[in-house]
């Protein structure tokens, strides 16, 4: 796992996101960025996770950290999901799994007794130079945003 002592450089990438914008890893205005990958818009766990990041958004902003959610959903799905939840951050669309592959979040998992290929809920913190500072994989929604916020407050500020 990466940490602030051993930041790992990431390959630059760009991807379409909500509000008609394009995300560029090395073109971000924030000092640090939270990239959280989630399986699908409008599902219970993903809705809860997005709302938790929404509710803590002001605290992340105060620390100079920007948040982006990423899934394989379309821009249209993302725009509807963002509006429905009142999300203050942008959602990145990755239907061809390019960004998911860069972060190695596509996994085989069990769903309703069947093995399916899908996004493993994961979160990454990237510094201003595009280096991976911290990662969480196989995230459990309940306390995850609090863990990320605690890391940001203790390590980033």
The catalytic site residues sit at 46
Q: How far is CA 154 from the centre of its chain?
A: 20
Q: For residues 130 and 139, what is the distance between their CA atoms, to the nearest angstrom?
A: 22
- Count CA atoms within 13 Å of residue 41 on its CB side: 23
- Report angle CA 152, 156, 157 to the nearest 5 degrees: 100
Q: For residues 124 and 42, what is the distance between their CA atoms, to the nearest angstrom?
A: 22
Environment class of 150 (CB within 10 Å of its CB; exposed 0-12, middle 13-18, buried 19+):
exposed
Question: Which of 156, 59, 63, 69 lies closest to 121 in space, CA to CA?
Answer: 69
């Amino acid at each position: 796992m990466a940490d602030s002592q051993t930041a790992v450089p990431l390959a630059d990438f760009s991807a379409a996101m909500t509000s008609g914008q394009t995300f560029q890893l090395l073109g971000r205005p924030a000092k640090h960025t939270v990239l959280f990958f989630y399986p699908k818009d409008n599902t219970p766990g993903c809705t809860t996770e997005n709302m938790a990041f929404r509710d803590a958004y002001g605290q992340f902003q105060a620390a100079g950290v920007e948040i982006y959610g990423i899934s394989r959903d379309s821009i249209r799905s993302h725009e509807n999901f963002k509006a429905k939840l009142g999300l203050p951050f942008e959602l990145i669309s990755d239907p061809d799994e390019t960004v998911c592959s860069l972060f190695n979040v596509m996994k085989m998992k069990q769903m309703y007794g069947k093995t399916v290929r899908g996004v493993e809920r994961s979160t990454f913190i990237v510094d201003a130079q595009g280096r991976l500072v911290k990662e969480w994989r196989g995230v459990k929604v309940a306390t995850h945003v609090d863990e990320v916020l605690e890391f940001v407050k203790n390590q980033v500020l």
